[in-house]
Homo-oligomer: A and B are copies of this chain.
């Protein structure tokens, strides 16, 4: 079962969307503003798709979309009013994935949701985003502000572990047994070397790594958000 987050300032539209989607075994969450949507996304990890109205007071759909993209790659469908021309370039810039025009047929909505879920299923293979830093297991890529950072396998696994466990301290021993398949004994200094190389590469790309990957004296390393 998939979870859909519906965002619209009009309660009537939220109810209508829910009504459409309920029979198809979707779990619907509602938000009446961009802000609420973002709060929900931040605490609730299991949202599979967002349907976002463009015309909203305070924070409009585009702005909301942009905000969401700062921390998540969840698929987003923009809801446009009849007559609004869809600005595709704008959409690309803000990171929207698809559009649907009000009023719409139930079938069209369903089709677009299904299509997007299918698409995102392929590309969303364990993907972490943090402050413009993007870690993608499937493609083995680490990017900062969309720029590729060349990292070695060990460095890649290291930063992945940290991003998946913010605030958590890892001892060198723990890192060795998690990332190194612990064949024989490997020196603690080796971890330090890899951490150093990782820090240097990120620093060179402008990412404020020293604010996030910190050394806990006498214990190990940890990532702080």
Answer whether residue A178 sits at the interface, using C-beta atoms and an 8 A cutoff: no
Q: Which residues of B sit under 8 angstroms from A165, Cβ to Cβ? A: 122
Answer whether residue A108 sits at the interface, using C-beta atoms and an 8 A cutoff: yes
A40 to B91 Cα, complex, angstroms: 10
Assess whether B222 is in contact with A108, with CB atoms less than 8 Å apart.
Answer: no
Assess whether B85 is in contact with A45, with CB atoms less than 8 Å apart.
Answer: no
Assess whether A140 is in contact with B46, with CB atoms less than 8 Å apart.
Answer: no
Q: Given contacts A108-B27, A217-B152, A217-B153, is CB(A98)–CB(B44) below 8 Å?
A: yes
A44 to B136 Cα, complex, angstroms: 22
Please give the distance in Å from A111's CB to the nearest CB on chain B: 6
A8 to B141 Cα, complex, angstroms: 39
Please give the distance in Å from A73's CB to the nearest CB on chain B: 13
Q: Which residues of B sit under 8 angstroms from A218, Cβ to Cβ? A: 152-153
Answer whether residue A32 sits at the interface, using C-beta atoms and an 8 A cutoff: yes
Q: Which residues of B sit under 8 angstroms from A30, Cβ to Cβ? A: 85-86
Answer whether residue A200 sits at the interface, using C-beta atoms and an 8 A cutoff: no
Please give the distance in Å from A110's CB to the nearest CB on chain B: 10
Q: Which residues of B sit under 8 angstroms from A141, Cβ to Cβ? A: 167
Partner of A140, one of B97, B105, B219: B219
A45 to B165 Cα, complex, angstroms: 26
Assess whether A222 is in contact with B140, with CB atoms less than 8 Å apart.
Answer: yes
Partner of A46, one of B91, B115, B138, B167: B115
Answer whether residue A125 sits at the interface, using C-beta atoms and an 8 A cutoff: yes
Partner of A39, one of B32, B88, B107: B88
Assess whether B36 is in contact with A89, with CB atoms less than 8 Å apart.
Answer: yes
Q: Measuring CB to CB, which residues of chain A are less than 8 angstroms from any residue of chain B?
A: 1, 11, 25, 27, 29-32, 35-36, 39-40, 43-46, 85-86, 88-89, 91-92, 97-99, 105, 107-108, 111, 115, 119, 122-123, 125, 136, 138-141, 152-153, 165, 167-169, 216-219, 222
